[in-house]
Amino acid sequence: MTVAKIRLCVDQALGARQSVTLTEAQAHYLFGVMREGAGARILAFNGRDGEWLCEVTEAGRRKGSLACREHVRVQDAPSDLWLLFAPVKKARTDFIVEKAVEMGVARILPVMTDFTNAERFRRDKALAHVREAAEQCGRLTIPEVTEPAPLARVLAGWSPGRRILWADEERAGEGSARDVLAGAAPGPWAILIGPEGGFSAAERDCLRAAPFVTPVALGPRILRAETAAVALLALWQAHLGDWAAA
């Protein structure tokens, strides 16, 4: 069979001889943008049934359908890693969401802090970015995106079995994240990235008092929120995630 280069994230079940109806947006992308037609080979995944090589059986301007032909990858599980971050300006928030998907995060939790400078967080837009990033990076799972919630409320309801690695900008040059992760045990983890203005004194006191929170430094310089997110996700994956197992 011809190797497929286009991947689509679908909501419908995938399986032998299963038919998949495309959304209008997917039909426009495949047939209007990518100029594919009937008989084209497409890879499809839904986060549950692995990846399937499909054939386009109907191609229209606003509709289309696929037929599952071959199961090419078995469904896997994401790293047991969550990302908590304070939304920043739109383009940078989009970047954080996209890179979280590429870095294997299983759940994305936007948290509102005292110094959060984003007017709002559009969960529907974030979910669209998640699906697009999953299509591009080759992962089979689709990270969950929660509704924004105040940081204090999230911490109050937190399960202590999942440790939080807090990127603390006031610890620049000490308490290396690399050293902490080198001696850490695998298991459920989360990473916390603050807003551009950092955390308030009250929030810092709350974080320090939580037994499941470990503050760490990311080198001698203060990083932007999106840079800190990628840096800490990479360190976690290298020590405890799927990079370490590769």
Are the CB atoms for 59 and 42 separated by under 8 Å?
Answer: no
- State the DSSP H helix or E strand holding residue 235, giving kind and residue range, or none if neither: helix 225-239
Indicate the DSSP class of residue 78. Answer: -
Output the tens digit of pLDDT for each of the chain's 246 residues.
457 889 999 999 999 999 999 999 999 999 999 999 999 999 999 999 999 999 999 999 899 999 999 999 999 998 999 999 999 999 999 999 999 999 999 999 999 999 998 878 999 999 999 999 999 999 999 999 999 999 999 999 999 999 999 999 887 556 789 999 998 999 999 999 999 889 999 999 999 999 999 999 988 888 999 999 999 999 999 999 998 776
Q: What is the C-alpha to C-alpha distance for residues 125 and 121, in angstroms, rounded to an integer?
A: 8
What are the chain's domains? 7-73 (2.40.240.20), 81-245 (3.40.1280.10)
Q: What is the DSSP string of 93-144?
A: HHHHHHHHHHTT-SEEEEEE-TT---S---HHHHHHHHHHHHHHHT-S---E
Quote the pTM value: 0.93
Query: Counting every residue, how long is the chain?
Result: 246
Longest dimension (CA), the chain: 61
For 42, the token pair is 């497409």
Q: β-pairing, 189-193 with 163-167? A: parallel
